[in-house]
A and B are shown apart, each in its own frame.
Chain A
Amino acid sequence: MPVVPFDQALPHRIVIASDLHAARQVEEQVLRLTEAKGYSKECAFAIRLSLEEALVNAHRHGNRCDAAKKITVSFRIDRRRAVIRVSDEGSGFDPCCVPDPTCPERICLPNGRGIMLMRSYLDEVTYSPRGNEVQLVKERC
């Protein structure tokens, strides 16, 4: 059972065009909040890395790099934890079907490591039933 339910309202919501430059500005906004709330450098590193991967996945795999589509980022950064949701307009995917990028036949492939990194660095990574929205949770440390 996830610590943060997927239907819990989050105070900040930003809708951007599916564009990595715009995505990076949201990333910086989130990181400024973590800094203001006293998150450690290691914690901020984990959040930046994971949010970057989630935004790139939303743009590239979800919205197929279509700038006419939108990415929605909702978040709450408080003194206990960071909760960030990233959704795209794609048809979604089944996260259980993503192959292990460290297996011998995939280790030399140039892509497919984003979800693994998110899961390694965060306390929770959950997907909506449709699979077009991911929720990232990192306890403050």
Chain B
Amino acid sequence: MVDEQQPKLRIRRQGKVNVVELEDRKILEELLIAQLGEQLGSLVDAEAEPRLVLDFKKVEHLSSAALGILITLDKQVKGRRGKLALANIQPQIYEVFKITRLNKLFSIQDTADAAVQALA
């Protein structure tokens, strides 16, 4: 069966920074993750030096495949001399980043505003 679920993103511009709110509670579906990667990748490709904040406020579950997309996105951003920050990660999800030590790889801030400041 083909899963037609699309990732739900709310994008707003704050100065030079694109703030993307991830609206899905669960980021588990393989197709959804792939589409999320494509959509975020397009956002990065649209700018010379992209500055991107991903807001995880609503995310309650994610898989290792979703972590993989974030790593790929981080490479894309750095490849264009941009900056990426993650924000509002719930404690349970932050634990996943800690276990995999990806909390050392990504800039992770408590709030979206703090993340925007970090990229200024």
Contact = CB atoms under 8 A, between A and B. Distances in A.
Interface in A94-126: 101-102, 107-114, 116-117, 120
B117 interface: no
Contacts of B67: 110, 113
Give the contact-size bracket for chain B. 20 to 34
Given A52-B63, A108-B71, A24 B28 contact: yes
B75 interface: yes
Contact of B100 (A45, A48, A52, A113): A113
B64 A113 contact: yes
B29 A24 contact: yes
Contact of B69 (A102, A107, A110): A110
A53 B64 contact: yes
Most buried by A among B3, B60, B64, B67: B64
Nearest to B3: A21
B77 to A, nearest CB: 13
B105 interface: yes
Interface in B40-75: 60-61, 63-65, 67-69, 71-72, 75
What is the size category of the interface that chain A forms with chain B? 20 to 34
Given A101-B100, A116-B99, A120-B99, A48 B75 contact: no
Interface of B: 1, 3, 28-30, 60-61, 63-65, 67-69, 71-72, 75, 92, 96, 99-102, 104-105
Given A24-B28, A56-B30, A56-B65, 19 more contacts: A22-B1, A24-B29, A45-B60, A49-B63, A53-B63, A56-B63, A102-B100, A107-B104, A108-B75, A109-B71, A110-B67, A110-B71, A110-B72, A111-B65, A113-B67, A114-B63, A116-B99, A117-B64, A120-B99
